[in-house]
Amino acid sequence: MMAEVNAVPIDPKAVRASPESGPCLIGGKCTTCGRTFFPYREICPSCFMEGKVEEITLDPHGTLVSYTVVRRAPGREVPYAIGYILTPENLMVFAPVVECNFERLRQGTKMEAVFRPKRDREGHMVISYAYRPIFNAKGET
């Protein structure tokens, strides 16, 4: 989904939005120790080297490793699901799981990142990210 022109990333260290390629998740790779991580940070969380981290664009696909469906939450619309998605870069992304029947979710489900404009608590338009399952025509992953 294309984000609105005036929307900014909900977390500029996790999402990059460009008019040419659209939004994407960004991580970091330390040029000193080689570790990759999400979201991007200017200091490597492994070796603590500053200025030795390069931005990497994460593949939008991944695999659902673990998840939970929240069915009761005061002041919040339920049910909703959140989970850990393993990316091809071998990174875990913690994100909402959307656009699916939660009863069909399983560990190992193939997922893809989606980006949506929404209003933050202050009313500003931001680009948020989530993952949705990829099912084939038979409804299988």
Q: What is the pLDDT along the chain (141 residues), one digit of tens a residue?
A: 444 446 677 788 888 887 777 899 999 999 999 999 999 999 999 999 777 899 999 999 999 999 999 999 998 899 999 999 999 999 999 999 999 999 989 999 999 999 988 888 888 888 899 999 997 655 665
Q: Confirm whether 138 is domain-assigned.
A: no
- Supply the pLDDT for residue 4: 44
* pLDDT score for 49: 79
- How many domains is the chain built from? 1
* Residue 140 belongs to some domain of the structure: no
For residues 14 and 50, what is the distance between their CA atoms, to the nearest angstrom?
A: 18
Q: Which residues make Cβ contacts (< 8 Å) with residue 111, sequence separation at least 6?
A: 61, 62, 63, 64, 85, 97, 131, 132, 133, 134
The answer as to whether 99 is a domain residue is yes
Domain presence at residue 2: no
Q: What is the pLDDT of residue 134?
A: 93
**Which residue range forms the structural domain that includes residue 54?**
8-133
Q: Does some domain include residue 1?
A: no
In a domain, 14, yes or no: yes
In a domain, 64, yes or no: yes
* 139 within domain boundaries: no
